[in-house]
Chain A
Amino acid sequence: MAVSTNVNAPKPSTGLSAELGKRFRSNIQTYTIILALIAIWILFAVLTNGAFFTAQNVSNLFRQMTVTSFLAIGMVFVIVTGNIDLSVGKLAGFVSVVAAYFQANVWYQMIPDQPLIAAILSVIIGVGVGVLFGVLQGYIIAFLNVPAFIVTLGGMFVLNGLILLVTQGKTIPANQPYFSEIAQGYLPPIAGWIIAAIVVVFLFWNMFRSRQSRARHGFELSNLGLELIVTIFFSLLVIGYVYWVNQYRGVQTPVLLLAITAMIMAYISNNTRFGRYAYAIGGNREAARLSGINIRRSIFLIFILMGLLSGIAGIVLASYVGYGTTAAGQGYELDAIASAILGGTSTLGGVGTVFGALIGSLIMSSLTTGLQMLNVAPAWQYLVKGGVLVLAVYADVYFKKNR
């Protein structure tokens, strides 16, 4: 019996436009969402007579999206495994009031002359609280078999109570100089350019390295011209962004922090066992179990990770608003879930990307900023956001069916 294997047969590179079409079809979800983002931007640019794209506004827009973006990144992992976390908003809020509490009441007495150490300790305590809460929830979900929806719903109530206990219903300032830099700081323009240069070099290096690796294993290489165009496009995006925010006050510290976190998480999702197992568990729990994957452990770790990211979000939140309040983090979990889903994360599990969640988060925050600039009443802002979320998911369902 003649058995041909064409696993390794290198195919001639196809034409540029044909390949572009193929790529579009295979990643239709990612492209749909990016197109939606661009459409929203253009709409706001027209309606605001260009004010939407001023350096100051762009800078603020990206700064604003950071808190929910940290949550959205973690939420991707949680939803990918087929779970949900409703407590993240309140957890970030609780972390922010704890950080504020220590600044206002503790460091002030213990180490009055050490603002830098105080800031560092605030971060450590805040992130630690996030992780601890993640450990607790993750343990109950993974090892005591209580559904995540219920555990985190309960967690939300508990955290709300804890916030009230810490704040005593009052607002606590969190505005020590170094701590404020975390979410309100800007890099000097030259530092921004150095980072841009590093990113561009990395993009090209990564492209050639992956091509080399594919060639070594005899895989079909995609059109070099196309890959160059994509890489150059992303490079220009980075350069353009740095140029534009430098027109205002420079690259925003929290955005840099978010970019680094997102890159680490994207790497984890693709290149570690932890990440792979998360997708396998969400994709087919039974197959994952029979492949020897320790499902409890994976789920446990996912919720710890979610706690860690909630901790970071809480620190950024405290630094961003400058105080801890009773309403801190209210509703952020819904923004995070919406961002992840807008970005293509499947509520059925198994599918979702960090990159998508960032785009989703950017859409949410663009809508907020744009509608505020147009003086749209908050009531209508909610209506628009809800509509966009459902419409985006419907568009995805529609395209999948009619591909």
Chain B
Amino acid sequence: MSEDIILDIRNVTKRFPGVTALDNVSIQIRRGEIHGLCGENGAGKSTLMKILSGVYPHGDYEGTIIYDGKELNLGVGAIRQAREEGIAIVYQELTLVPNMTVGENVFLGKEPVERGAIDWNKLYADTRDILAKYRLEVSPQSVVKYLGVGKMQMVEIAKALSENAKILILDEPTSALTESEIDKLMEILENLRSHGVTCIYITHKLEEFFRITDSVTILRDGRTVATLPTRELTQEKLVSYMVGREMKERFPRSHRKPGEVIFEVNDLHAVDPNETNRKVLNGVTFNLRRGEILGIAGLMGSGRTELVTTIFGEYGKITRGSIKLEGEEIHVSDARDAMHKGISLVPEDRKGQGLVLMQSILKNISLANLDQFSGFMRIDGDAELAAATQQARALAVKAPNLQVRVDSLSGGNQQKVVIAKWLLTNPKILIMDDPTRGIDVGAKYEIYKLMNDLAERGVSIIMISSELEEVLGMSDRIMVMHEGRSTRTLEIAEATQERIMALATGIADELVAA
């Protein structure tokens, strides 16, 4: 143990109700290295980061973390404290105040004061010095909102360093950057390393590990699989560590025979409606058969959610390509139009997009369907209640009655309420965006069975999932997305975790198949 370990994570376990997010995780990080952290969505990376940054305080997890020679002991709500201790996270979603200058942002909350007034000259001089020292090429007086994402990230880094950060955690720093900005960032990181700053580097782009890190820790299902020096790794090795080998029997299989193609998406291109020069879809092609479950795999930011919300008429502005339903080209204008055409979407964010949390189960289930129960004015309360009751019963929503507020239900039951709402619209195509995220194993199983039942009854399902096992366990075919494009649609028989991961991370398919 002659090595200088700055951060020693020992046997850390973090449980949530129903889920163990981190299971006996141990990682050692040497002072001054760039340490990569690698794993699928849901492998436990973000939970670990939240522990290090004080979102989950000391005592909220098991195990010990030795930081710079002492045990890390962050109190409740100690995000500030973590920063003072020298652990700083540069989030992908940037946390700057857009209307302030670079200098104001760097010194926000710790402005130098001279006789009760802010000493602006000192503030800008100090900012300039920090920026120069770490070769961050941005002017202290620029207003942040006029900077590009790459420059904003530099400001974030400068802000962290101004607080004497000893460990800089970079969470997916390159996902919004252009190629040249990425090159620039790599230079900055190398410079930081030469100044002795330790970095933890999280990314989904595997090639970046080889480009910048000294060693890599791989997490899977909340466990540390391995920590290896980068030079001993290859991409294939990394992927096999990420996905593991075993596949548990957690998925009910039904014997269904998908029918004819009813839905086709051809070379779909779309841009962000609010920033029309930002492309979100760069050519997506796939089709869907009657009574089929089509899985859409891809890493976060690969355009999965953008694809389905665009199909649903609620997000992207289509610039090229076509969507055909039952052989006829359709143009969906908004959610209501999509529902009338027979397309329903169970959205990704259950609480933010799926439910009105303060309202009852009944009102949530009927919300998208009040036209069915209404005359010119009046809602037929009896018909509404009868239909909602029937749905709640079919989906086995566990609640004392339908008047209960949905925020008192468990995640699995909340998700059933969202699904019930959309089934009541009687869809031909049901799109489910990460339908089992954050719900317990039992409720997951019930939702899988429900999906099978629906498919057998002829409903076509598009399922986005972040869990490879789920995609493999439930789908008839799997379409893999990478950077806004559909790469390939795999038949279930030819799909393996390695192949999907290879397609999703942009490594050539053949590399792994060989």
Give the interface segment out of A105-113, A271-279, A309-317, A374-382.
A271-279
Task: Check if B367 sits within 8 Å of A288, measured CB to CB.
Answer: yes
Contacts of B358 in A (CB 8 A): 283, 350-351
Contacts of A8 in B (CB 8 A): 389, 393
Task: Check if A280 sits within 8 Å of B359, measured CB to CB.
Answer: yes
Task: Check if B367 sits within 8 Å of A276, measured CB to CB.
Answer: yes
A7 vs B388: C-alpha distance when bound (angstroms): 11
Which residues B322-362 have CB closer than 8 A to chain A? 334-336, 338-339, 345, 347, 352-359
Contacts of A288 in B (CB 8 A): 356, 367
Sampled A-B contacts (28; CB under 8 Å):
A1-B445, A1-B446, A3-B446, A4-B396, A7-B389, A7-B392, A7-B399, A8-B389, A213-B382, A217-B386, A220-B400, A273-B374, A276-B363, A276-B366, A276-B379, A277-B370, A279-B356, A280-B367, A284-B353, A284-B355, A287-B352, A288-B367, A289-B335, A290-B312, A290-B335, A290-B353, A291-B421, A294-B336
Most buried by A among B371, B400, B442: B400
A287 and B378 contact, Cβ closer than 8 Å, known pairs A3-B446, A6-B400, A292-B339: no
Which residues B204-233 have CB closer than 8 A to chain A? none
Which residues B247-298 have CB closer than 8 A to chain A? none
B414 → A minimal CB distance (Å): 12
Contacts of A1 in B (CB 8 A): 442, 445-446
Nearest B residue to A346 via CB reads B358
Contacts of B339 in A (CB 8 A): 292
Size category of the binding interface on chain B: 35 or more
Task: Check if B335 sits within 8 Å of A292, measured CB to CB.
Answer: yes
Any chain B CB within 8 A of the CB of A286?
yes
Task: Check if B379 sits within 8 Å of A290, measured CB to CB.
Answer: no
A272 vs B399: C-alpha distance when bound (angstroms): 26
Any chain B CB within 8 A of the CB of A49?
no
A220 and B442 contact, Cβ closer than 8 Å, known pairs A7-B389, A213-B382, A290-B345: no
Contacts of B338 in A (CB 8 A): 292
A323 vs B240: C-alpha distance when bound (angstroms): 85
Nearest A residue to B354 via CB reads A287
Task: Check if B398 sits within 8 Å of A286, measured CB to CB.
Answer: no
Q: A216, A272, A284: which contacts B382 (Cβ < 8 A)?
A: A216
The digit string for A214-230, where 1 denotes a CB below 8 A from any CB of B, is: 00111110000000000
Most buried by B among A5, A213, A289, A294: A5
Number of A residues contacting the other chain (C-beta, 8 Å)?
34
Q: A6, A272, A289: which contacts B379 (Cβ < 8 A)?
A: A272
B34 → A minimal CB distance (Å): 38
A118 vs B365: C-alpha distance when bound (angstroms): 50
Nearest B residue to A281 via CB reads B356
Which residues B442-467 have CB closer than 8 A to chain A? 442, 445-446
Q: A5, A217, A277, A290: which contacts B385 (Cβ < 8 A)?
A: A217
Any chain A CB within 8 A of the CB of B109?
no
A8 vs B363: C-alpha distance when bound (angstroms): 17
Contacts of B445 in A (CB 8 A): 1
Known A-B contacts: A1-B446, A6-B399, A219-B402. Give 19 more (CB < 8 A): A5-B398, A217-B385, A217-B386, A272-B377, A273-B371, A273-B374, A273-B379, A279-B363, A280-B367, A283-B356, A287-B347, A287-B354, A288-B356, A288-B367, A289-B335, A291-B368, A292-B339, A293-B336, A293-B367
